[in-house]
Structure 1
């Protein structure tokens, strides 16, 4: 686990989500947790398991946008940068996005615009 000072070194502001976004490991389709917040270059994921900093992940992020009857699935490659225990059974994991598809880019922009 890292100290809180790592969180303060972010280059981009974070946006709190107004919808549920589930996070899955792309190849195994295993459910990892929920997206807590995001920025242009990073995401925070709440998980039941601790993710080790330095871990490379291939992720599918699935949301159902408010007032829309379809779901969106965006994909990215990300590296776990930090992990903190946030409750006795949940971990917060900060991840830096290294690559993302166009759908995830559109999803992240929609989360940002929900705050404008």
Structure 2
């Protein structure tokens, strides 16, 4: 289960979820996977959502998995997509410009 942590100014968020990490070398640990976090950051002072549906108090989208037209549907998590809430690959340019590592949320039917 994922947990989203955001700073008060909402310029930095972390999405924490179980993350498998390779087992340590023999003799250095018990060999179990460890849990970790993945950090996703917006540029300082710009917030995470630069322009999408700013007239709404909170942008929330719900899609029932049974209504998906494709077996695998990518959803935008960088807020740069021209087809929001669907991913159009805009995160690639965003990642190169900011050093971020955000990618889409893939939903399987």
**TM over 0.5, yes or no?**
no
| Length-normalised TM-score, structure 1 | 0.33
Greater Rg over alpha carbons, structure: 2
Identify the structure with bigger relative contact order (alpha carbons < 8 Å, sequence gap 6+): 1
Per residue, is there more strand in 1 or in 2? 1
| Length-normalised TM-score, structure 2 | 0.34
